[in-house]
Structure 1
């Protein structure tokens, strides 16, 4: 198992690493390059009226409600927490784990015409590596994560409703890569490295599992 505790609730997913982590993310709450003790993926009701609070304040309120550490990375989604796809792989002392939730109501192809009609359905991904990465390697891991997500979407033959062409994500995807906040053991993690191989595989598999959950739910509700 990874050294990250998962709390899987119908309204949220929380990830609690055993040690303080360095995180690179596009998260709403504490995004960018940060140090953190927890990650939160919070579900919102896409049919409910817009929150009176700003997204950051909504997430902060949830962090306080759950008694999570102040240093928490927070994401929001309308996707069901039942869409969770997770995958973990080990190679010697190296562990890579990934957690994905998927909603496809906001699916797009990169370069699609911009609009102001975004709805809160998104693909949120958290990727954990148990060995410390340099800042540059974290950025490279985020690139690999994104490539893997796009590959999973293409494999699932999901189409953008805007252009009618193969989609590459949603308009509001949020991703995070985190690792121990320590002296870096990895300066890079490209596809030719063992770490790059594990990242690509676990994200692709976790995304595929999550997308299948989402597509099955959509088919059942038609």
Structure 2
């Protein structure tokens, strides 16, 4: 059976996904995002009025909590990180797992630049041997799944009244615990794209129904 070696450590206002060894990263996170390697991922709840320079404030947060800045990817959210949803799936001999938090108050339609609080932070961890291009393709599949979920939930931009594909501060973070690059594609017709789309879509639907449906 496929398995991933990471561990999730929980704290009051953040959690750490400790990969235990370097993994490949493809991330739009505000701190240590980009392409390279990572040792850990942090998703952290901040105040609704957060208006700091993320690069400086997050650095201070890591130093204060004695967390190594090197290899640490950090995302921020206004929702309690305890609302995260974790899903996993086996794909032949490989495994894929997602850890997602979602807030919807900042839902924006295309063309609107109003800014409220709310962020969808998506982390997907897999040991599938994706090429760099396939990893970026996977990010596309994940983003499409998020947009489809928000469309199906009829989440609207409060200003324009149009359906929103996301918020203005969403992130996608893909971590690959495999340095081989045999898989060249990860669009939604492929196994990695198909299954990542399913778990991301289902997670966002679940978060909305559990925490927002009755608001």
2:32 is matched with which residue? Answer: 30
Task: Give the match's secondary structure for 1:18.
Answer: strand
Q: Structure 2 CA distance, aligned partners of 1:80 and 1:212? A: 16
Task: Give the match's secondary structure for 2:95.
Answer: strand
Cα distance, 1:119–1:159 mapped onto 2, change above 3 Å:
closer
Say if 1:102 and 1:214, in contact at 8 Å, map to a contact too: no
Task: Give the match's secondary structure for 2:145.
Answer: helix
1:204 is matched with which residue? Answer: 201
Give the C-alpha shift of residue 187 in structure 1.
1.4
TM-score w.r.t. the length of structure 1 is 0.87
Q: Please list every run of 5 or more consecutive structure 1 residues that lacks an aligned counterpart in the other structure.
A: none
Report how many aligned residue pairs link the two structures.
Answer: 212
Give the C-alpha shift of residue 47 in structure 1.
4.0
Q: Structure 1 CA distance, aligned partners of 2:74 and 2:59? A: 8
2:83 is matched with which residue? Answer: 83
Tell me whether 1:94 sits opposite 2:91 in the alignment. Answer: no
Say if 2:138 and 2:192, in contact at 8 Å, map to a contact too: no
TM-score w.r.t. the length of structure 2 is 0.90
2:131 is matched with which residue? Answer: 134
1:169 is matched with which residue? Answer: 166
Q: Please list every run of 5 or more consecutive structure 2 residues that lacks an aligned counterpart in the other structure.
A: none
Cα distance, 1:30–1:214 mapped onto 2, change above 3 Å:
same
RMSD: 1.8
Q: Structure 2 CA distance, aligned partners of 1:73 and 1:181? A: 18
